[in-house]
Amino acid sequence: MIHPRPGCIIETPRRKILIVEDVKTTRDAIALLIANRGYEPLQAHDGREALETARELRPDLIILDSELPTVSGYEVYAELRKDAGLKGIPVLFLVADTESFDIPTRSVPPAQFLIRKPFKAYDLMDRVAKALG
């Protein structure tokens, strides 16, 4: 076993959280919250970039907006669940307060992973902590 020198700080890798949100101000605000809690924020502005980033960087958690350009959050979620390497990543799904989930063909996470917009910062961070265990 190798022991570090006295006074040497050993850094453990920070857990990566991918924030997928097309509104830059919202995405940046979430990234700031994430970084302030010691996580490493990754960002994507649309569904295609989200899938590419998830495949390349394998985040520990994904915060995913349902309404995205190019590929919707619902489609991204469905693709994540089909991919053997990504299906185990927890997803917090951001949904508009007016959005309905009565469409049976939509792939949606369980209710405990749905976060209605607008959300409170403390609620989001509590859900992040719970999702990461």
Q: What is the pLDDT of residues 69-114, one digit of tens each?
A: 889 998 999 999 999 999 999 999 998 865 555 544 456 665 668 8
| Tokens matching residue 132 | 């990461």
pLDDT of residue 114: 86
Q: What average pLDDT is seen over the chain?
A: 86
Averaged pLDDT for residues 8-36:
89
Q: Answer whether residue 14 shows pLDDT above 50.
A: yes
Q: How far apart are CA 9 and CA 131, in angstroms?
A: 28
pLDDT in tens, 24-44: 999 999 999 999 999 999 999
Domain spanning 16-132, CATH class = alpha beta
Domain ranges of the chain: 16-132
Q: Exposure pattern of 5-23 as b/e (b: 16+ CB <10 Å)?
A: eeeeeeeeeeebbbbbbbe
Residue indicated by tokens 């076993």: 1
Q: Helical H runs in the chain?
A: 24-36, 47-57, 73-82, 121-132
